[in-house]
Structure 1
Amino acid sequence: MRLMLALLLLFKILQSHSLQAATYTVYSIDAPPLTMLDAKQAGIVGDVVIEAFTRLGHQVLLQEVPWKRAQRITREGENIFIMPLALLPSREEHFTWVAYIMDLERSFATTKLRINDYQQAKKTLNKVGVGLGSAQAQILKNKNFLDSQIVELKIGPSTAKMLQLGRIDAWFNGTPESIWYWNQLFPEQPLIIGDPVVTNLLFLAASKNTDVKLVQQIAIQIQLLHDEGFVEKTKQRYLAPQ
């Protein structure tokens, strides 16, 4: 309760020095249920971020380009935002980490054999599909997977299709996204999800050159959304069985 009151007081102080209402570019990606490119149904992370901007009187312009390019544009730009971005050591110094949104478990998904850890994956899998420019690609490289084992594919349903066709042996991805796409495309075919091998923190991030007051205001709003239960309710809404 004291934390909530302190945050509200700080927000009121910042509000008294508030920026004029504006439209801000937020680079996103079609990776349901985390993010979608519809502002009215933007996924778990998207809905939280848009709500935070809306409460401050700002509008959000969702933009999609290839994920590597989106990260580069954000890094090199000014007052540009990106979501959802996993906090990795290799990324940490290149962005402003505005606010934590949620944890994301990552696992190996297959159609034949349950894969529960990296060692098993390295020994048994010839080709592992990952999103191009994604955290998954960097994680496998850091775990010393061979380049020939890592197949980078456009983020989205194409990786699920490649797995179903047997062109890759496994899909290393955020668990909720893998389940979401598989259930949409192949609801009658079982998908085998291994144990989570890593959990990453997902953030709203921004350019290094981003207005400090704006970052503070958004961070406070997102913390209030956590405290109010908005984030948890949003997760439950998207992750509930259809």
Structure 2
Amino acid sequence: MNYLKWLLLGSIFSLSGMANAQEITAYTELLTPYQILDEDNKLTGFSTAVVKTLANKVNDTVNFELLPWERAYRGVKENKNTLIFSLYRSKQREKHFKWVGKLDENIHNFYALRSNVATHIKSEKATKRLITAVISNSYEDKTLTARGYTNLMRVSNEKQVVNMLFSHRIDLLFGSEVTIANLVTEAGRSIDDIIKLVPISNWGDGLYIAFNKDSDADLVKKYQRAYQELLNDGVITKLKKQHFKFNYIAP
């Protein structure tokens, strides 16, 4: 009888878990190495792996919507119970989302060709005089514009910027070391040819997973708890090591 009792309870809990399972839409963009396409054109990368692991942990199904950033951002803001990644957490965005967990610190620096000494600036103020490439309408574009940058070369694809630097169409690259190092390597260039210059101050609190601000509280808490468990168990660190395979850029 005890065996049957526990079997029955197990079935109830199993059915309860299935009843609570949800289908979640996750909006994102391509951002090396956080969200990338593999050789089979499937979405992968560190942040993608974290979101998939989270969904599996809470028994949800996640449907990825890979879009240009502006459309992805609009999609999550317009649709309840959807999430977005990898999203910069900033003071301006704080009240517009329900935040799940941090993916990476993502400190931003300016970078130049090591051979182009004329672009080796020493201060953030000096970067405004040079031409910097940014993805059109990205967080970088909007934030630098708000800070008074007028020499921005706006592009639609992040993979363009490395060759633009080497062909001297721009003076500076701007982004996290993780992203820039991967873009340089993917372009078939050596990171030894790139120099890391000054960081930009007060950039924000890193990259996050976040839900639409009107999402159900229980849904958000479920993901927040699951994320914390993955963090405590070392799963996030393990995934980062698997996907962050690059050499650092020397100053």
TM-score range, shorter chain: 0.7 to 0.9
Query: Match of 1:197?
Result: 200
| Corresponding position: 1:180 with 2:182 | yes
- Asked whether the equivalents of residues 28 and 37 of structure 1 are also in contact (C-alpha less than 8 Å), the reply is no
**How many angstroms apart in 2 are the aligned matches of 1:106 and 1:139?**
12
- Greater alpha carbon shift after TM alignment, 154-163 vs 31-40: 31-40
Aligned to 2:88: 86
1:106-127 deviation line (CA, Å, top 9, x unaligned):
111221233454212123x1x2
Choose from 140, 144, 149 the match for 1:140: 144
Post-superposition offset of 1:220: 0.8
Q: What is the identity, as a one-letter code, of the residue corresponding to 2:147?
A: K
Distance between the aligned counterparts of 1:153 and 1:36, measured in 2? 18
Range that drifts further, 161-170 or 183-192:
183-192
CA displacement at 1:101 relative to structure 2: 2.2
| The 10-residue stretch of structure 1 (194-203 or 65-74) with the greater mean CA deviation from structure 2 | 194-203
Counterparts of 1:114 and 1:170 in 2: how far apart (Å)? Answer: 9
TM-score where L is the length of structure 2: 0.80
Larger Rg: 2
Give the equivalent residue in structure 2 for 1:35: 35
Q: Give the partner amino acid of 1:208.
A: K
Unaligned runs of 5+ in 1: 1-15
The two structures, once aligned, show a CA RMSD in angstroms of 2.5
2:226 matches 1:226: no
Shift of 1:72: 1.2
The aligned counterpart of 2:120 is 114
> Deviation string for 1:69-107 (max 9, x for gaps)?
211121111111110000122222222222222211111
1:211 aligned partner: 216
Contact 1:103–1:202 under 8 Å retained in 2: yes
Q: Counterpart in 1 of 2:11?
A: none
Give the secondary-structure state (helix, strand or coil) at the position aligned to 1:63: strand
Moved more, 92-101 or 202-211: 92-101
After TM superposition, give the deviation of residue 27 of structure 1 in Å: 1.0
Letter paired with 1:53: A
Letter matched to residue 65 of structure 2:
Q
Structure 2 Cα separation of the partners of residues 159 and 103 of structure 1: 22
Structure 2 vs 1, CA of residues 204 and 166 (structure 1 numbering), >3 Å: closer, same or farther?
A: same
Contact 2:76 2:84 in 1 (8 A): yes
Match of residue 47 from structure 1: 49
Moved over 4 A (4+): 16-19, 37-41
| Whole-angstrom distance in 1 between the partners of 2:73 and 2:62 | 17
* Residue in structure 1 matching 2:133, options 112, 129, 133: 129
Secondary structure at the aligned position of 1:217 is classed as: helix
After superposition, the Cα gap between the structure-2 partners of 1:241 and 1:73, relative to the gap in structure 1 and judged at 3 Å, is closer
- Quote the sequence identity (%): 24
Distance verdict in 2 for CA 1:56–1:182, change over 3 Å:
same
Letter in 1 for 2:146: N
Higher deviation after alignment, 172-181 or 191-200: 191-200
Tell me the secondary structure at the aligned position of residue 199 of structure 2. coil
Which amino acid in structure 2 is aligned with residue 103 of structure 1? E
Q: State which drifts further: 156-165 or 111-120.
A: 111-120
> What SS does the aligned partner of 2:91 have?
coil
The CA deviation at 1:133 is 2.5
